[in-house]
Chains A and B, each alone.
Chain A
Amino acid sequence: MIKFDHVCFSYGERTVLNDASFFIDSGERVAILGGSGEGKTTILKLILGLLRPDSGRILIDGEDLTDKAESELRDVRMKFSIVFQEGALFDSLNVRENVAFCLREYSKLSEEEIDRRVRELLRLVGVEHAIELMPDELSGGMHRRVAIARSLAVCDPAMFLYDEPTSGLDPVNADTICRLIIDLSKNEKGFIIVTHKVYDAMRVAGRFMFLKGGSVVFDGNRELLLQASIPDINIFMSELRGVCDN
Chain B
Amino acid sequence: MMTTKEIINDLQDYYLLALRGLAGMFTRPFYFRDAIDQMDYAGAGSFPIIVLVALFIGMALSLQLSAEFGRLGLRMYTGKAVGITVIREIGPVMAALVFTGRVGAGMASELGSMVLGHQVDSFRVFGVDPIKKLVTPRLISAIIMLPVLTVIGDALSILGAYYIVVFVSNQSGYVYWKSIRDVLIFENIVAGSVKPFIFGFLIASISCYSGLTTMGGAAGLRQATTNAVVLSIISIIISDFALTRILLYMLGFSV
Do A and B assemble together? yes
Q: B-contacting residues of A (Cβ < 8 Å)? A: 45, 48, 50, 70, 74, 77-78, 80, 82, 84-86, 88-92, 101-102, 105-106, 154
Does the CB pair B128–A105 fall under 8 Å?
A: yes
Give the CA-CA distance A21 to B37 in the complex, in Å.
Answer: 46
Which residue of the partner chain A has the closest CB to B127? A74
Give the CA-CA distance A23 to B141 in the complex, in Å.
Answer: 47
Residues of B within 8 A of A90 (CB): 119, 122
Give the CA-CA distance A12 to B37 in the complex, in Å.
Answer: 36
Give the CA-CA distance A78 to B127 in the complex, in Å.
Answer: 9
Chain A nearest Cβ from B144, distance in angstroms = 20
Does the CB pair A88–B122 fall under 8 Å?
A: yes
Known pairs A48-B125, A84-B121, A105-B127 / 19 extra A-B pairs, C-beta < 8 Å = A45-B121, A50-B121, A70-B129, A77-B125, A77-B127, A78-B127, A80-B125, A85-B118, A86-B117, A88-B118, A88-B119, A88-B121, A88-B122, A90-B122, A91-B119, A92-B37, A101-B126, A105-B126, A154-B125
The answer to whether B178 has its CB under 8 Å from any CB of chain A is: no
The answer to whether B124 has its CB under 8 Å from any CB of chain A is: yes
Does the CB pair A154–B126 fall under 8 Å?
A: yes
Does the CB pair B125–A50 fall under 8 Å?
A: yes
Does the CB pair B119–A82 fall under 8 Å?
A: no
Residues of B within 8 A of A78 (CB): 127
Mind listing 20 A-B residue pairs with CB under 8 Å? A48-B124, A48-B125, A50-B124, A70-B129, A74-B127, A77-B124, A77-B125, A77-B127, A80-B125, A82-B125, A84-B121, A84-B122, A85-B118, A86-B118, A91-B117, A91-B119, A92-B37, A101-B126, A106-B127, A154-B125
Residues of A within 8 A of B127 (CB): 74, 77-78, 105-106
Give the CA-CA distance A43 to B122 in the complex, in Å.
Answer: 16
Q: Which B residues between 85 and 99 are near A, CB-CB below 8 angstroms?
A: none
Residues of A within 8 A of B124 (CB): 48, 50, 70, 77
Does the CB pair A84–B128 fall under 8 Å?
A: no
Chain B nearest Cβ from A41, distance in angstroms = 9
Does the CB pair B128–A88 fall under 8 Å?
A: no
Q: Which B residues between 120 and 176 are near A, CB-CB below 8 angstroms?
A: 121-122, 124-129
Chain B nearest Cβ from A75, distance in angstroms = 9
Give the CA-CA distance A159 to B146 in the complex, in Å.
Answer: 47
Chain B nearest Cβ from A124, distance in angstroms = 19
Residues of B within 8 A of A86 (CB): 117-118
Give the CA-CA distance A106 to B128 in the complex, in Å.
Answer: 10
Residues of A within 8 A of B37 (CB): 92
Chain B nearest Cβ from A77, distance in angstroms = 5
Give the CA-CA distance A92 to B113 in the complex, in Å.
Answer: 12
Give the CA-CA distance A92 to B114 in the complex, in Å.
Answer: 10
Give the CA-CA distance A124 to B167 in the complex, in Å.
Answer: 70
Residues of A within 8 A of B119 (CB): 88-91
Q: B187-201 CB contact bits vs A (8 Å, 1 = yes)? A: 000000000000000
Residues of B within 8 A of A85 (CB): 118
Give the CA-CA distance A89 to B121 in the complex, in Å.
Answer: 11
Does the CB pair A84–B126 fall under 8 Å?
A: no
Q: B29-66 CB contact bits vs A (8 Å, 1 = yes)? A: 00000000100000000000000000000000000000
Residues of A within 8 A of B114 (CB): 91
Give the CA-CA distance A154 to B128 in the complex, in Å.
Answer: 12
Give the CA-CA distance A172 to B119 in the complex, in Å.
Answer: 26
Which residue of the partner chain B has the closest CB to A101? B126
Give the CA-CA distance A102 to B126 in the complex, in Å.
Answer: 7
Chain B nearest Cβ from A182, distance in angstroms = 23
Chain B nearest Cβ from A31, distance in angstroms = 20
Residues of B within 8 A of A70 (CB): 124, 129
Residues of B within 8 A of A84 (CB): 118, 121-122
Chain B nearest Cβ from A47, distance in angstroms = 11
